[in-house]
Amino acid sequence: MKRAGAAAILLLGALLLLPWGGPSTAEAGHLRIALSVRPTSFEPLHAIYTVNQARFRQVYETLVEPDYRSSELRFRGLLAESWEASEDLRTWTFHLRPDARFHDPGEPPLWPGGSRPVTAADAAWCFLRLADASISSVSWFALEDLIEGLDAFHDATREGRRPGVRDLPFGDPGLQVPGLEVLDEQTLRIHLVRGGGDLLPRLASAFCVLYPWEAVARGDLKAVPVGSGPFQLELPGSSEVARFRRTPGWRGQEDLGETLPRIERLTLTWVAEGATRTGLFETGRLDRLVLEPDSLHRFLDGEVLHPRWQEKGYRLQSSPWPSTSMFLFNLADPVLGEFPGDPEGNRRRRALREAVARAFPYGRWQSIVRLGSMAVPARSFLPPVLPEARGAPAAPWRSRDLGEVARLLEEAGYPGGEGLPVLHIDLGSQGSLARRSAEVLRQGFREAGIPVEVRLHDFQGQQERIARGEAQIFDRGWHFDWADASNLLATFTGGQAFGGSNRANFVDAEYDRLFAEYLRRPPGPARTRLAHRMLEILHERIPGIPVDHSRVWFVLSPRVQGVAPHAFDPYAFKYYRLQAPAAAAGE
C-alpha cells in the first residue's frame, strides 16, 4: 500500500515537472485575444450581439470605417474608394475599390480561385437582406427610416406581400428598391428619405457589413464566414475558439506608410471566467486583457499601471466607451410625469424630478459602484468620445446638493419630504453589482429625505415593466450602435414615446424639430449647436439623469506595440503591431 502510494505521488510529481506550462509559446505575428462572452455565429444579421462584432470585424468589411487618427470622428473609405454627397445630403454615390474581393475559406470554394470581386450590387443586396423581415432580421433598425423604398420593402416582407431576398435570386429585378441604385459594377447610389448626416456612421457600423449572396445560398454562413476582410477563418471554427489567418491574396491597406494587417494570425478565444482570463494573460498566453472589477486593483495603482507590471514592459490603455448610463423618469407617471393642460402640476413634478437628480449620490456611485475608475462621471447625456460632447452644456443639477433638494421638495409640494410617496427605482439586473447599486441608492436618497424602494429585476422583466408603464424611475444603459449622437438623441423624440425606444415617454415639439434638423445637417459647428440645444431642453425638462460613461482599461503585453483603441472600432486588430520575437525575449 505504502509503495503504491509513493509510486502514485512520484508519478504525479513527474507529470507536473514536465513542461506543460512553462513560458508562453507565442508565435511571431500571432495575436491572442480573449472574449468574455460566447459568440453566437458569423451570420452578419446577428451583429446586434456585440461579442459577434469582435469576430465579424476580422472577416467582413463595411463601405467606410472610422478614421482612428481623427479626433473628430471622421470616416475613411474601406470598401468604398471614394464617395460624394449631394448638397442636401439626400443622394450619396459610393465608388467601390476595384481590387476588393470576397475570399471563401470553404472547401470546395464558391468560385474558381476562391475569390470574386465585391460589386455595388452586393452592397445593395446586403442592405436589402438587412431589411428583409421574412428572415427576422434583428439588425434592421440600422437602416430604418433612411433609404427610399427600403421601409416599404421591409413592411411588405413582414406582411408576406413580397418575397424577401432569400427567395429570389441575387440581382433579381423584383428585389430592387428605388433608394439603392446600382449604376455599374463599382458604383452604388443611395437615395435617402432625408438628409443623411448620420449615413456614414451607420454604414461604418457592423450591421452594414458586406458579404456575397452565394455564401448565404450555400447555407453555412453561420459557421463559414465569407468576407472581403484582412483575415480568414481557419476551418473548422467553433464558438469557443476562432483562429484567423491573414487572407491569402488580400488587397492590403495602407496605414502610416505600412501595409495592413501587421499580424499574420489572430486567435479569439471565449474564456468564460475573469480569473482564467487574468491567469492566461499573466502567464503570457494572451496579448491583451480587459480589466474587470476583479482584476482592476491587481493591475492598477490609482489610474496608472502598477510598477511591477510596468517594469516587465506591460502597458496600460484607457478608452472611453461610447455609452451612457442613466436613470430615466417615466413621464407618464402621476407622481413624476408631465401632463397636458396642467402647467402648475407639471412645474411641481419637474421640481420633484430635479430634487431626485440633486439627491442622487453621484460620488458614492462612482467610488463604490464604478470602483473609482470603471466609468467617467457624466456631464450630459453624450459621452466624451463624441465630438458633440465637447463644449456641450452640462446638466446644472448634476451635483449633489441636499440644501437645494430641501428647497425643491418644498416647491414640489412636499416640505421636509412630508406627504411624499415612496418612489420606486427599478434596476434591470440582479447580480452583485445591482445589489451594490441598490444599497448605494437606498442610503443616498434616505440621507436626502427622499423615501425610495429599489427593486431588482432580470433584464427582460425590467423591459416588460417599462413597456407596461409600471416603472417610475429606472436605470438604462445605452451603448451607441454607431458613431453619431443621433443614436441616443433619437431615444428622446416624441415618435419613439409610448412603446418605442423613448422609454421616458418624453415629448417636446421643439426637441423633435431640432432633431429632424440635426439629422439633415452634415457634421460641423451648426450640427453641434443643434445637439447642444437639444441637450439644454433635456436638462430643462429632466426626463432622466445621466450618471456616467463606461471606461475600458486594456493592459497590453510587451509584445503588443503601437495600438490606439478606437471607441467605435475596438476590434480592428489589423492595426495591431507585434514586437519581433527577439525583442520580446523577456516574455
Closest approach, Cβ 406 to other proteins, in A, equals 44
Of 159 and 418, the one with the shorter C-beta distance to other proteins is 159
For residue 291, the number of C-alpha atoms closer than 13 Å in the C-beta half-sphere is 28
Of 15 and 582, the one with the shorter C-beta distance to other proteins is 15
Q: Where are the alpha helices (DSSP H) in 266-391?
A: 274-282, 293-299, 307-311, 343-359, 362-364
Closest approach, Cβ 550 to other proteins, in A, equals 24
Closest approach, Cβ 112 to other proteins, in A, equals 18
Diameter of the chain measured on Cα atoms: 92
Of 28 and 223, the one with the shorter C-beta distance to other proteins is 223
Non-local (6+) Cβ contacts of 12 within 8 A are: none
Closest approach, Cβ 299 to other proteins, in A, equals 14
CB 398 within 8 A of CB 428: no
Rounded CA-CA distance 18/21 in Å is: 8
Closest approach, Cβ 275 to other proteins, in A, equals 5
Nearest Cα neighbor of 504 from 471, 546, 540, 530 is 471
CB 286 within 8 A of CB 34: yes
Closest approach, Cβ 15 to other proteins, in A, equals 6
3-state SS assignment for residue 208: helix
Of 61 and 132, the one with the shorter C-beta distance to other proteins is 132
Task: Verify cis geometry, omega within 30 degrees of 0, for the bond prior to 225.
Answer: no
CB 325 within 8 A of CB 550: yes
Per 3-state DSSP, what percentage of the chain is helix, strand, and coil (rounded to 5)? Answer: 35, 20, 45
Of 270 and 554, the one with the shorter C-beta distance to other proteins is 270
Run of H or E including 216: helix 213-218
Of 267 and 325, the one with the shorter C-beta distance to other proteins is 267
CB 581 within 8 A of CB 307: no
Q: What is the number of other CB atoms lying within 10 angstroms of the CB of residue 8? A: 10
Closest approach, Cβ 587 to other proteins, in A, equals 12
Q: How far is CA 26 from the centre of its chain?
A: 30
Of 4 and 564, the one with the shorter C-beta distance to other proteins is 4
Closest approach, Cβ 276 to other proteins, in A, equals 5
**What is the secondary structure of 447-461 as a DSSP string?**
HTT--EEEEE--HHH
Q: How far is CA 483 from the centre of its chain?
A: 9
Rounded CA-CA distance 426/537 in Å is: 25
Closest approach, Cβ 460 to other proteins, in A, equals 9
Closest approach, Cβ 247 to other proteins, in A, equals 24
Q: What is the 3-state secondary structure (H, E, C) of 138-162?
A: CCHHHHCCCECCHHHHHHHHHCCCC
Kindly list the residues in this chain that would bind other proteins in the complex (CB under 8 A).
Answer: 1, 4, 15-18, 20-23, 38, 40-41, 133-134, 136, 158-161, 163-164, 166-169, 172, 217-219, 222-223, 238-241, 269-273, 275-276, 278-280, 282-283, 285
Q: Where are the alpha helices (DSSP H) in 241-291?
A: 274-282
Q: What are phi and psi of 317, to 5 degrees?
A: -135, 145
Nearest Cα neighbor of 190 from 54, 52, 63 is 63
Nearest Cα neighbor of 322 from 475, 481, 428 is 481
Closest approach, Cβ 298 to other proteins, in A, equals 11
Rounded CA-CA distance 166/168 in Å is: 6
Of 272 and 304, the one with the shorter C-beta distance to other proteins is 272
3-state SS assignment for residue 178: coil
Of 23 and 581, the one with the shorter C-beta distance to other proteins is 23
Of 241 and 422, the one with the shorter C-beta distance to other proteins is 241
Task: Verify cis geometry, omega within 30 degrees of 0, for the bond prior to 230.
Answer: no
Of 201 and 558, the one with the shorter C-beta distance to other proteins is 558
Nearest Cα neighbor of 465 from 503, 500, 431, 502 is 503
Closest approach, Cβ 41 to other proteins, in A, equals 8
Of 41 and 561, the one with the shorter C-beta distance to other proteins is 41
Of 353 and 559, the one with the shorter C-beta distance to other proteins is 559
Of 283 and 367, the one with the shorter C-beta distance to other proteins is 283
Rounded CA-CA distance 177/180 in Å is: 6
Closest approach, Cβ 47 to other proteins, in A, equals 17
Closest approach, Cβ 204 to other proteins, in A, equals 27
